[in-house]
Structure 1
Amino acid sequence: MIDVQRLRVLRSVAEHGSFNRAATALHLTPSAVSQHIAALERSLGAPVVDRSTRGVTLTQAGRIMVGAAESVAAELAHAAREIDRLGTARGRLTIATFTSGGQHLLPGALTHVTAAHPGTLVHVREAEPEDSLPLLRQGTVDVALAYHFDGPLPRLRGPGPAVEWIPLMEDPLHVVLPEPHPLAARPVLNLAELADEPWVLGCLKTEAYLRRYAEHAGFSPDVRGSTTDHFFARSLVAAGVGLSLIPTVALTPPLPGVRAVPLEAPTPSRHIGVAVLHRPGRPEVSTLIEALRQYAEAGARASDGVATTPRPADEAGKAPTA
């Protein structure tokens, strides 16, 4: 029989890439971690890691077992929540969300959930997709409000529990310029027109995205500042530090002194959606997803190149209709 604790140790070794770092994370000694892995290998009759001076890497058997470990962890966490629910007669809903989605889409949707399911204990934690999706697989959260640019979401596919991705909206990126800028009154811009401009970024991921699009446009952007907050980036634009590339949902609340202008096609966009695990439906999860759909549709409307704010619920607990 495979010991669940040994699977937990293997997951940590896979995550951290060494016995020493896994030991620190698990509050164990490196020797204890090594013993757990050796015992797991004996029970399987196959090595699960390759050891070298540069650290450890998973073998094929190890990758299979990490997938199994994630499935087991997720199911145990789900079972614990369901048992807790039986004991308290109260639902529990834990959501991980990226910052701008949490600010502009989630609050109204949660108002609908708490009105439709009074007594549900709602927990929200801020996390970028590369962190929230592993939390979902581990069973730490029930729903991940996430996004991706080009290509698939990180860890959407692979070993472990199956993750379902439910698209909510396309979130086009706009160029944000100071109002006095000679191009600020344009209805649309081509990125190549901005080759000589300095840039500030409101999200670290945006830099790689900007550089990729700029390369296609034939230039390398001059990045003067990086932040993790889109509002801060717009404030720097207003101060004349540079231009910025900001997603539609992060263009509210309006900021005096700047203007957002869409880019010509192919327009760079974020793809916003909800990730959930495949398991029997829970009414509060279904309610949240449906409310997010409606708020996303409302939030996707734009006027004069600047995103509108999703309108508040027509009444308490009622999501807007798109």
Structure 2
Amino acid sequence: MIDVQRLRVLRAVADHGSFSKAATALHLTPSAVSQHIAVLERSLGAQVVARSTRGVALTPAGQIMVGAAESVAAELAQAKQQVEQLSTGRAQLTVATFSSGGRHLLPGAIPRFMAARPGTLLHVREGEPEHTLPLVRQGAVDLALAYHFDGPLPLGPGPSSGLQWVSLLEDPLHVVLPEGHRLAGRESLDLAELATEPWVLGCLKTEAYLRRYAERMGFEPEVRGTTTDYFFARSLVAAGVGISLIPSITLVPAVPGVHTVPVEPPTPSRHIGVATIRRRGDQPLVAMFIQALREQALHH
């Protein structure tokens, strides 16, 4: 018999990369964490973590067991939700979203969903994908409106969780220039043409993309401003601090004093979609909310 608590400990070790950090997160001692892992390994007859001076890493057997741990956690969270629904008599759905996606997609999707399922208790949690996707795989939220750029989904630390990804829309990035800029009249721009420009960026992931592109093109971008808000970034462009790279859905509402120019192909884009656990993707409430998001995405 595999103890659920030991699976929980293993998952914490995988997430944090060390016994001591896992112990802190679980309010245990490192010795207690080590004992839980040792007992788990004896019960399985296999090593689940490889220990080294740099910390610990999952073995293939450990990766299998962490996947099982996440499945168990998600099932328990769902069971708890179902019990709560029995006591309240109302269905519940918890949706996670990143800020700009929530601002532009949820306000149209929620009324569609609620019209079809009136009385549902809807909860919304905001966070970046690297924080919300682990919540999906743990069963803490039912689905997450998320995005990624040219790499894989930002699943965070730990092994692949078997998430199901439903694409909603492509969100191409645009160059935002101050009015009167020498390139403001262009129909499109190659980012290489902007090698000498100062930049204001509204997202760390956009900055990471720009730096990867600049490295390939052989220049170092001069970043004069970083924010976590695309509207603020455009306001700084209007004030003359620099130029910016902004996703298209965040170009509304308009900011006076700026001019927007598309990026030439291959155009950098955010890939926006919905993440669920595979076995939850076909549940009625989840499926209905995804459909409402799909319909709203058609407007963009």
Is TM more than 0.5 here? yes
Partner of 1:105 in structure 2? 105
For the residue of structure 2 that corresponds to 1:105, the secondary structure is helix
| CA pair 199-59 structure 1, distance change in 2 beyond 3 A | same
Give the aligned CA root-mean-square deviation in angstroms.
Answer: 1.8
Separation (CA, whole Å) in 2 of partners of 1:23 and 1:267: 45
Question: Does structure 2 conserve the Cα–Cα contact (< 8 Å) formed by 1:201 and 1:225?
Answer: yes
Question: Does structure 2 conserve the Cα–Cα contact (< 8 Å) formed by 1:192 and 1:218?
Answer: no
The gaps in structure 1 that reach 5 residues or longer are 300-322
Post-superposition Cα deviations, 1:207-236, rounded to whole Å, max 9, x if no partner, equal: 121122234444321111211111111111
Separation (CA, whole Å) in 1 of partners of 2:233 and 2:8: 40
Separation (CA, whole Å) in 1 of partners of 2:218 and 2:57: 39
Partner of 2:120 in structure 1? 120
Query: Is 1:210 aligned to 2:213, yes or no?
Result: no
Partner of 2:244 in structure 1? 244
Alpha-carbon shift at residue 273 of structure 1 (Å): 0.6
Query: Is 1:20 aligned to 2:20, yes or no?
Result: yes
Separation (CA, whole Å) in 2 of partners of 1:39 and 1:160: 24
Matches within 5 A, 1:262-281: 262-279=262-279, 281=282
Residue identity matched to 1:99? S
Separation (CA, whole Å) in 2 of partners of 1:118 and 1:160: 35
For the residue of structure 1 that corresponds to 2:107, the secondary structure is helix
Partner of 1:186 in structure 2? 186
Separation (CA, whole Å) in 1 of partners of 2:159 and 2:84: 28
**Deviation larger for 145-154 or 96-105:** 145-154
**Deviation larger for 198-207 or 114-123:** 114-123
Alpha-carbon shift at residue 57 of structure 1 (Å): 1.6
**TM-score of the two chains, using structure 2 as the length reference:** 0.94
For the residue of structure 2 that corresponds to 1:141, the secondary structure is coil
Query: Is 1:135 aligned to 2:135, yes or no?
Result: yes
Partner of 2:167 in structure 1? 167
Query: Is 1:291 aligned to 2:292, yes or no?
Result: yes
Query: Is 1:85 aligned to 2:100, yes or no?
Result: no
For the residue of structure 1 that corresponds to 2:298, the secondary structure is helix
Post-superposition Cα deviations, 1:227-264, rounded to whole Å, max 9, x if no partner, equal: 11111111111111110100011111111111211011
Alpha-carbon shift at residue 202 of structure 1 (Å): 0.5
Partner of 2:5 in structure 1? 5
Post-superposition Cα deviations, 1:2-41, rounded to whole Å, max 9, x if no partner, equal: 0000000010011111111111111112222112111111
The structure that is helix-richer by fraction is 2
Residue identity matched to 2:175? V
Residue identity matched to 2:295? Q
Partner of 2:197 in structure 1? 197
Runs of 4+ in structure 1 off by over 4 angstroms are 158-161
Separation (CA, whole Å) in 2 of partners of 1:28 and 1:189: 55
Alpha-carbon shift at residue 170 of structure 1 (Å): 0.6
For the residue of structure 2 that corresponds to 1:298, the secondary structure is coil
Separation (CA, whole Å) in 1 of partners of 2:47 and 2:166: 37
Residue identity matched to 1:5? Q
Separation (CA, whole Å) in 1 of partners of 2:161 and 2:56: 24
Partner of 1:71 in structure 2? 71
Question: Does structure 2 conserve the Cα–Cα contact (< 8 Å) formed by 1:97 and 1:128?
Answer: yes
For the residue of structure 1 that corresponds to 2:2, the secondary structure is coil
